[in-house]
Structure 1
Amino acid sequence: MVDRVRPRDLTFLEQESPQTPQHNATIEIFDPGEGPDAFDHAGLVELIRDRIAFVPRYRQRLQGVPGHLANPVWVDDEKFDLGFHVRRSALPRPGTSAQLLELVSRIVSRPLDRSRPLWEIYFVEGLEGGRVALLSKTHQALVDGVHTVDLGQLLLDLQPAARALEPDDWSPRRPPNPAHLLADAVRDNLTDPGELLDTVRTGSRALARTADRRSERARAFLAAATGRRPRTGSVITGPLSQQRRVVTVETRLADYRRVREAHGGTVNDVILATVTGALRSWLMTRAESMGGLRQVRAVVPVSVIDEELEATSLGTQIAAHFVDLPVGEPSPVVRLHQVSYSFQAHKDTGRSVAANRLAGIAGFAPTTFHAIGSRVASVELRRGYQISVTNVPGPQAPLYAAGARMLASYPVPPLTPDHPLAIGVTSYDGGVYYGITADRDWIPDADLLGACLREALDELIDLSSASRQRAPRGRRTARGPKGSAKDT
């Protein structure tokens, strides 16, 4: 029985082009420790070697079916080389954050090699302060949260001492020969009408994709001939180049809780209000100004309980929630209340899952949630949103990889066609970490958006402090009765 690529996973393979590589990435910063037990590249290789057996898909590659008579299949990579996937890099010491992000930007711009398992991890040495970074890249077709979780979820422990695991004696199975694949495809198409329909749809999409790429090449040729690139779209929507720019911002969770206590809502509401304020300030600095833009339509993947959706290994389902970010509103507090109102309607459905419950799920890791969230955003392209914002509540206790403490975790979400900007957020161990992915050509000032994020949060903090000072003595804040504060 062959392990055929599911139609939904195949969609992410079909959408991929040099301009839209379909992989998620994560930057994790570690304190490697000192002495002979310090975390290094060899230690990372051994850690992955010990745990990769829990995600068999990470040792499998794609194999097509002759004549495209059925979807491709997953087969064991008979030439699997862990050294190819776990790579070593370094910055000139002492490497700055800017140098690290430039390296990350170049790496995430490159599509993964489809002839091998669809993932890579880079061990980056030389950061200032003696720190090291892990940069992981995983294709969206690989991690569905149902059959396969992100490898990063398995590398982290709650304690510095690594878990003892059984030895892995894996050896690859021989891949099926073309004749067997052809026979399986014919049998499946004859016995399963749904399989035949998937095959027809796959062929139709392939033809449409070929036509689109020819059109893209024609536009590129025209741009090269005229010496200018056609600019169609808006400030935050437009065609993508093959290059990315990654920006990270570190903030503190306590600041969001302070704003929540003063004005109500949830930490998620405050984060989205911060994103809204940052977009407003950034748009106002652009030469195009805001052009009458009052709202930015955002898709925000959320965790829900819904039996009609595909269950994930996180214990919940992931659905798209659409919210209009009020970038035209000048008052930060009003922006917060408008965002809160949108999510209150979602909570009133009874489907929502509290952030503290989600972060407490055994084995939960933000990397898997970000991967599923990116899949949801990609599927919902037809709904006409302008930006995706994935906020994942992570554990508020330190995590370790081979004894090395993780200091920070920044998501690097992929870009979808005509969407040159995406934002990911992870809360972890008292911090809230933003990862901004932007098209290098369409949005050359992505670092300014990062600065605007800090300013938008500072503005909310200042207003919250002023609100508390004006509150009558003995008055309770929006937090409610003593001891009833929420963590969401």
Structure 2
Amino acid sequence: MVTPIDPTSVAFLYAENRRQPMHVGGLQLFKKPEGAGRNYVRDMYETMSTPQAIAPLFLKHPRRSLATAGQYVWEPDAQFDIEHHVRHSALPKPGRVRELLDLCSRLHSTRLGRERPLWEAHVIEGLRDGRVALYTKVHHGLVDGVSAMRLMQSVLSTDPDLRDMAPPWGARPPRPEVDRPASEPTPSSEVPAAALRTALGISAEAAGLPGALIRTLSAGVRNETSALSLYAPRTMFNQGITGSRRFAAQDWPIERMQAIGKATGTTLNDVVMAMCSGALRSYLIDFDALPETSLVSMVPIGLNAKQSQVASADGGNAVGAVMVQLGTHLPDAGDRLESVHRSMGQGKAALSSMTPTQIIAMSALGMSPTLLTSVMRMHGLVRPPFNVIISNVPGPNSTRYYNGAEMVGTYPLSIPINGMALNITCNSYADKMCFGITGCRRTVPHLQRLLTYLDDELGALEAAAGI
């Protein structure tokens, strides 16, 4: 069945070009179960590549034609070939993590063909320590990064003895219906009043947008953190990019970061941001390219939204974007952590005073210069709205298994874009914080140095906290 594609997904399709693939990825590492035979990886690949049925999400691809009036629609692939999407690879000797990251870098550099469903998975063997890797990539038009990670997590289990588990793209039986008490209908006499309250709520949110815009612009003019940045300096990251990618990954114990947060009165996310700040400072100093003013990062965050009259917006969580000053101009690690903590606090306070509709509008306003600059190829002509994207996505807090294989690491790969050549994404897993750094291979040379600098900064933060 042909279905229309929502405007956000269409935007990712239109934004894609040869230099700017628009897929997100993930790298998972698994430890073989006890007693695994020599053909374990081959059997794992065959199990993943021959599921009895494929979930509908992984069968559709985008298409547009005269029949669709030139608009993109999702259409099922009538000639779906799972062997094209699920592949078996082996690393060259000596089978170090370096060879694995090089392979993932190359795989992440190639675009997904639109004549097929927009996803791939690669089962990778050959690591000399015996672990098995799984690299997956999914177009952002099909699913966003957070949803992709949750989808992967949804097929994992806390039971190491569970077998016959379906891969992420395998169809799963529908959940049984749960009997729920029928809700009482709204009396007809109350319908006009309820409709009026909803209409007034929507009108109130719309009426509040100019005020929210003024507050956001005022904060930007005063160089205070909000959804909009007016003070990001030009850096070597804010240039045109090629389609070639470099990926680096490593993890650190969450316990070390939590100890820093406890000693300094900051959050885990503040410490992650401060680690990135110090690493970026050291990296830019290497190239004699450190600006005199602080770098600005765009940070996606979730926060409790202000209560609204609109039913769908009551409570819950809203996702917004905060522009955080990283304090990269400060030589002391403790001062950088304090700068990040203060900036994040200001940003959260600014967004928490808005309704969900206003949060979305203001965050879109903050992101629009980057998207327009990329689409219109104006990077270098205008000041960048921010310098780098840093995202921290919570993951499972206990060990997970896939058909008896223990997942020992999970690292995200993200999307550099024209004028924004570096993306740092983290996700927590069990007792570790896993960093995935994705950059343009040419614009961000020697990207792997950032891993060393992240480790150095974690030590510097511990020293500054007196640990």
For the aligned pair, the TM-score class normalised by the smaller chain equals: 0.7 to 0.9
Q: Within 5 A, what are the aligned runs for 1:208-223?
A: none
Question: Residue 123 of structure 2 aligns with which residue?
Answer: 123
Question: Residue 105 of structure 2 aligns with which residue?
Answer: 105
Distance 1:344 1:91, change over 3 A: same
Gaps of at least 5 residues in structure 2 are: 174-233, 354-363, 372-383
Q: Within 5 A, what are the aligned runs for 1:362-441?
A: 381-382=370-371, 384-441=385-442
| 8 Å CA contact retained: 2:155, 2:165 | no
* Number of residue pairs the alignment of both structures matches: 377
Name the aligned partner's letter for residue 441 of structure 2: R
Q: Within 5 A, what are the aligned runs for 1:316-327?
A: 316-327=317-328
Work out the CA distance in 2 between the residues paired with 1:427 and 1:4. Answer: 35
Residue-by-residue CA offset, 1:367-395 (whole Å, 9 max, x unaligned): xxxxxxxx999767258221100111212
Work out the CA distance in 1 between the residues paired with 2:149 and 2:449. Answer: 34
Residue-by-residue CA offset, 1:105-135 (whole Å, 9 max, x unaligned): 1110000111100000111101121001110
Residue-by-residue CA offset, 1:13-54 (whole Å, 9 max, x unaligned): 01101100000011111102243578534435535765975x
Distance 1:123 1:148, change over 3 A: closer
Matched, 1:255 2:244: no
Gaps of at least 5 residues in structure 1 are: 171-232, 353-374, 469-488
Distance 1:146 1:106, change over 3 A: closer
Name the aligned partner's letter for residue 452 of structure 2: A
User: Aligned-pair distance for 1:320?
Assistant: 1.1
| 8 Å CA contact retained: 1:45, 1:82 | no
Work out the CA distance in 2 between the residues paired with 1:434 and 1:148. Answer: 17
Work out the CA distance in 1 between the residues paired with 2:435 and 2:463. Answer: 21
Distance 1:96 1:323, change over 3 A: same
Q: Within 5 A, what are the aligned runs for 1:19-30?
A: 19-30=19-30
Distance 1:317 1:87, change over 3 A: farther
User: Aligned-pair distance for 1:348?
Assistant: 4.1
Matched, 1:58 2:47: no
Work out the CA distance in 1 between the residues paired with 2:51 and 2:392. Answer: 30
User: Aligned-pair distance for 1:155?
Assistant: 2.7
| 8 Å CA contact retained: 1:94, 1:129 | no
TM-score, with length taken from structure 2: 0.73
Question: Residue 226 of structure 1 aligns with which residue?
Answer: none
Name the aligned partner's letter for residue 329 of structure 1: L
| 8 Å CA contact retained: 1:47, 1:155 | no
Matched, 1:457 2:446: no
Work out the CA distance in 2 between the residues paired with 1:73 and 1:149. Answer: 25
| 8 Å CA contact retained: 2:235, 2:289 | no
Question: Residue 295 of structure 2 aligns with which residue?
Answer: 296
Distance 1:30 1:164, change over 3 A: closer
State, as a whole percentage, how many aligned pairs show the same letter: 30
SS in 2 for 1:410: strand
| 8 Å CA contact retained: 2:366, 2:385 | no
Work out the CA distance in 2 between the residues paired with 1:148 and 1:97. Answer: 23
Question: Residue 90 of structure 2 aligns with which residue?
Answer: 90
More moved, 327-336 vs 59-68? 59-68
SS in 2 for 1:437: strand
Name the aligned partner's letter for residue 299 of structure 1: M
User: Aligned-pair distance for 1:318?
Assistant: 2.3
SS in 1 for 2:448: helix
Name the aligned partner's letter for residue 280 of structure 2: L
Name the aligned partner's letter for residue 387 of structure 1: V
Name the aligned partner's letter for residue 411 of structure 2: Y
Work out the CA distance in 2 between the residues paired with 1:248 and 1:109. Answer: 16
User: Aligned-pair distance for 1:74?
Assistant: 1.0
Question: Residue 75 of structure 1 aligns with which residue?
Answer: 75
TM-score, with length taken from structure 1: 0.70
Distance 1:9 1:45, change over 3 A: farther
Work out the CA distance in 2 between the residues paired with 1:146 and 1:421. Answer: 18
Name the aligned partner's letter for residue 436 of structure 1: I
Distance 1:381 1:45, change over 3 A: farther
Question: Residue 473 of structure 1 aligns with which residue?
Answer: none
Question: Residue 135 of structure 1 aligns with which residue?
Answer: 135
Name the aligned partner's letter for residue 446 of structure 2: D
Question: Residue 225 of structure 1 aligns with which residue?
Answer: none
User: Aligned-pair distance for 1:11?
Assistant: 0.4
Question: Residue 238 of structure 1 aligns with which residue?
Answer: 239
User: Aligned-pair distance for 1:415?
Assistant: 0.7
Residue-by-residue CA offset, 1:392-425 (whole Å, 9 max, x unaligned): 1212210111221100111111111221111011
Work out the CA distance in 1 between the residues paired with 2:125 and 2:365. Answer: 34
Q: Within 5 A, what are the aligned runs for 1:300-379?
A: 300-306=299-305, 316-348=317-349, 351=352
Distance 1:422 1:165, change over 3 A: closer
More moved, 300-309 vs 20-29? 300-309
User: Aligned-pair distance for 1:65?
Assistant: 2.5
SS in 2 for 1:415: coil
Residue-by-residue CA offset, 1:427-467 (whole Å, 9 max, x unaligned): 11111111111111111121112211111111111222xx3
User: Aligned-pair distance for 1:347?
Assistant: 4.4
Work out the CA distance in 2 between the residues paired with 1:146 and 1:342. Answer: 24
SS in 1 for 2:129: helix
Work out the CA distance in 1 between the residues paired with 2:235 and 2:464. Answer: 32
Matched, 1:159 2:166: no
More moved, 74-83 vs 137-146? 137-146
Q: Within 5 A, what are the aligned runs for 1:161-240?
A: 161-162=161-162, 234-240=235-241
| 8 Å CA contact retained: 1:411, 1:425 | yes
Work out the CA distance in 1 between the residues paired with 2:153 and 2:275. Answer: 28
User: Aligned-pair distance for 1:59?
Assistant: 1.0
SS in 2 for 1:101: helix
